[in-house]
Structure 1
Amino acid sequence: METNVYRTREGLRHAFRDVLNFYYPDCLDTRVGGYVAQLDERAGYVYDSRSKHLVATARAINNFSLGTLADGPEWCRHAAEHGLRFLSTAHWDPEHEGYDWLLDERAPVDRTRFCYGHAFALLAGARVHQAGIPGGRAELDRAFSVLEKRFFEPERGLYADRASPDWAELSPYRGANANMHTLEALLAAGEATGEERFFERAIEVAERFTRELATETDGLLWEHYTESWKHDLSYNEDEPDHQFRPPGYQPGHHAEWAKLLILLAEHREEDWLTERAMELFDSAMELGWDGNHGGLYYTVEASGEPIVDEKYGWAHTEAIGASALLARYDSSYLEWYDRLWEYSAEHLINPRYGNWYERLTREGELPEPDHGPAVEPGYHPITNCWLAMGVLEDDPTALDADG
């Protein structure tokens, strides 16, 4: 395939800004604060103006902070500040010192303490601080303090999953997803502050999860564990299409872990980081790519047999980001970079607005949209376009196979 437009900074910047423009200004809630993140992915209308989900709030802050860092529209800074004020007040529970999971406008609906949500609060604080916006460092420090005090298990080197609102009860479930996104946030915190403690914790999590635990599953990454971090291979086996915690292996998460290991390798010299990143990305493509219809399956057996054969937008953006970073080490990854963009441009990107669809059928058709409160307001495509733009900033020929 000839060099495509997404190998250029201009093409990536266009895709990056399309997603920002899809959400702004409709996402700003000027009445109660925060964001209205629940926009219909096809037509762009608001389908829920009241729900304020912690992850959606934090992800939107991340997006507008990256817009500021990338010299995007001038309104990005204001939009990031707007979200940070809401995160630090409405989502924060000063009595129990934790972030509330779901609000109805400003009233708590679900106060469960999720590590996953606190990780995104840390990411939001880190990105705001990195963008030079006041208040970001304070939020970064607060979120990290809760993660370390309430979720980190020193004897395991990993993070627990969730707790009751008063922190009295810790769930026995342990999971990959919370640790993966905490690792992401730790990397962002280290890059924003230059402090080694964040990278030290990040490599501890990365090594424990992607090397030690993975030896029990032939190098693949299982998602679900018991309280003692034993593989729970039967978890949700009776719910193969569970939206957030399905059984099986997730190719998209293998690509996402690969991306994070490559980012960590920029700050650590351990050779295993790049080697393991390549292994994980290669496994994601080998097991997850649909040779008949294109695109990555959502979940698969260890053999590559699909369990849920739908194609999720986030998985493709994460693989795009990973392949862009890996191409700096081996230009053959550009083949996957091009193939992923080709599939995404044809099937996953809304031709009307430029936002990304949440999911497709195996054949690439759009199912009925999920109009729930737990949305991802463009966080995956924005973050990975930004990473790919950064690759080109470091080396303008990095995405050129002949460069």
Structure 2
Amino acid sequence: MNVYRTRAGLFHQFRDVLQFYYPAMIDTVVGGYAAQVDERDGYVYDARTRHLVAAARGVHNFSLGVLENGPDWCRYAAEHGLQFLSSVHWDDEREGYDWQLDCREPTDRTRYCYGHAFVLLAGARAHEAGIPGGRAELERAFDVLEERFYETEHGLYADRATPDWDSLSPYRGQNANMHACEALLAAYEATDEERFLERAYTVADRFTREVTSATDGLLWEHYTEEWEPDLAYNEDQPAHQFRPPGYQPGHHAEWAKLLALLADHRSEGWLLERARELFDAAVDFGWDDEHGGLYYTVQDDGEPIVADKYGWVHIEAIGASALLSRFDDAYAEWYDRLWAYSREHLINPKYGNWYARLTRAHERDGPNRGPAVEPGYHPLTNCWLAMRALEDEPPAFGTS
């Protein structure tokens, strides 16, 4: 039996990831989180850089620890990170969150929707966990997203702005909108206020049904100002770490997860139908039949562009399959298959944290320290969601 069909097995993995990052990333001198932790041996390899996304994800992660009755230090760790996020990352003069700092000094003040979405997520989870200041951060981040990034005529968010908000980039992206949708759902769950659910539904509907009609229902990553697919974007940089060309199986699975979560709060039948379509697409064109695992990026026929295996891709697919398996046992089979692959290749046997990236044949081609924005957010989130799925008394998930 798959041990991750049990709450005990999932909580063990959840706790292992939390303990990998605590106390290593807690910085009591500079403040905030030194989130650049070597994924193999657990030491901080960069104690100076402070990244907005890492800060927000850390608050989110430790807040989940509080919600799941994890170790007592989770509350302190969440409060510690939220204080730095709300005071040092926040630019009071320009009213936005600074993207990157050297210790406490800003080095990049570009205003990214992606970063502000993660602050909204952090505030929502902190508020839900009873962390002081969580609700205030939720409201502040939401206000910036609505006033500076949301484009009513498209029902979607712009991507980035200059530090003084003088101009928006013409680039429009899938990823910022996906994480905005995630954060809005969390804000709804934390407050029970319909405005957050309505906005999350609008973004999901607009992107996963309307925008994707131009690419036969598949999720392209990069768009023009008018939300037309920019199929040539970064085509000369196929291995770009954050904005590669091609289709990403991991984001298809991640959107499937979000639509399944939305379906828990909305009655529209298309949500689960589209969630199934997106998950099926992820595994149909993304699964590597020779070596196992999901490719990072592919062409629309499933031919890999970057065949590397990323940890976040597989744990997102695990979260999606856990939610979908409540309705169809075929997804429970994928849940087991993805966990078996991940245990063999992607989870550090020494600490239980997840590796960021391996080659197609599961080798390392460098130090593999992982991106500076990833302090365990993907595995913690999806273990937590799978534990919630077990509580729902589903017809399929949790059976042998």
What interval of TM-score do these two structures reach, taking the shorter chain for normalisation?
over 0.9
**Where does residue 275 of structure 1 map in the other structure?**
273
Q: Distance in 2 between the 1:331 and 1:192 partners?
A: 30
Deviation at 1:369, TM superposition (A): 3.1
Deviation at 1:156, TM superposition (A): 0.4
Q: Distance in 2 between the 1:19 and 1:49 partners?
A: 20
Unaligned ranges ≥5, structure 2: none
**Where does residue 18 of structure 1 map in the other structure?**
16
Deviation at 1:133, TM superposition (A): 1.4
Cα deviation digits, residues 314-353 of structure 1 (max 9, x gap) = 0001000000000011111011000100000000000001
Is the alpha carbon distance of 1:372 and 1:252 closer, same or farther for their aligned partners in structure 2, counting shifts above 3 Å? closer
- Corresponding letter in the other structure for 1:360: L
**Where does residue 41 of structure 1 map in the other structure?**
39
Q: Distance in 2 between the 1:66 and 1:376 partners?
A: 16
User: 2:152 is matched with which residue: 134, 151, 154?
Assistant: 154
**Where does residue 364 of structure 1 map in the other structure?**
362
**Where does residue 59 of structure 2 map in the other structure?**
61
**Where does residue 290 of structure 1 map in the other structure?**
288
Deviation at 1:370, TM superposition (A): 4.7
User: 1:120 is matched with which residue: 118, 121, 127?
Assistant: 118
Aligned 8 A contact 1:391 1:398 in 2? no
Task: Report the 3-state secondary structure (helix = DSSP H, G, I; strand = E; otherwise coil) of the residue aligned with 1:201.
Answer: helix
TM-score (norm 2): 0.98
TM-score (norm 1): 0.98
Aligned 8 A contact 2:57 2:118 in 1? yes
The farther-off stretch of 249-258 and 24-33 is 24-33
Deviation at 1:32, TM superposition (A): 1.7
Task: Report the 3-state secondary structure (helix = DSSP H, G, I; strand = E; otherwise coil) of the residue aligned with 2:243.
Answer: coil
Q: Distance in 2 between the 1:262 and 1:397 partners?
A: 15
Cα deviation digits, residues 86-136 of structure 1 (max 9, x gap) = 000000000000000000111001000000000000000000001011110
Q: CA RMSD in A?
A: 1.1
- Corresponding letter in the other structure for 2:36: Q
Deviation at 1:374, TM superposition (A): 2.8
Cα deviation digits, residues 35-59 of structure 1 (max 9, x gap) = 0100111111110001000000000
Q: Distance in 1 between the 2:294 and 2:265 partners?
A: 30
Task: Report the 3-state secondary structure (helix = DSSP H, G, I; strand = E; otherwise coil) of the residue aligned with 2:210.
Answer: helix
Alignment of 1:208 with 2:209, yes or no, is no
Deviation at 1:372, TM superposition (A): 7.3
Aligned length: 400
Task: Report the 3-state secondary structure (helix = DSSP H, G, I; strand = E; otherwise coil) of the residue aligned with 2:329.
Answer: coil
Q: Distance in 2 between the 1:168 and 1:204 partners?
A: 27
Cα deviation digits, residues 231-257 of structure 1 (max 9, x gap) = 101111111111110000000000000
Is the alpha carbon distance of 1:16 and 1:37 closer, same or farther for their aligned partners in structure 2, counting shifts above 3 Å? same
Is the alpha carbon distance of 1:373 and 1:282 closer, same or farther for their aligned partners in structure 2, counting shifts above 3 Å? closer
% same residue: 73
Is the alpha carbon distance of 1:74 and 1:396 closer, same or farther for their aligned partners in structure 2, counting shifts above 3 Å? farther
Cα deviation digits, residues 337-378 of structure 1 (max 9, x gap) = 001000000000000010000000000112213557633100
**Where does residue 260 of structure 2 map in the other structure?**
262
The farther-off stretch of 272-281 and 327-336 is 327-336
Q: Distance in 2 between the 1:352 and 1:80 partners?
A: 25
- Corresponding letter in the other structure for 1:191: E
Task: Report the 3-state secondary structure (helix = DSSP H, G, I; strand = E; otherwise coil) of the residue aligned with 1:90.
Answer: helix
Deviation at 1:396, TM superposition (A): 7.4
Aligned 8 A contact 2:249 2:296 in 1? yes
Aligned 8 A contact 1:59 1:377 in 2? yes
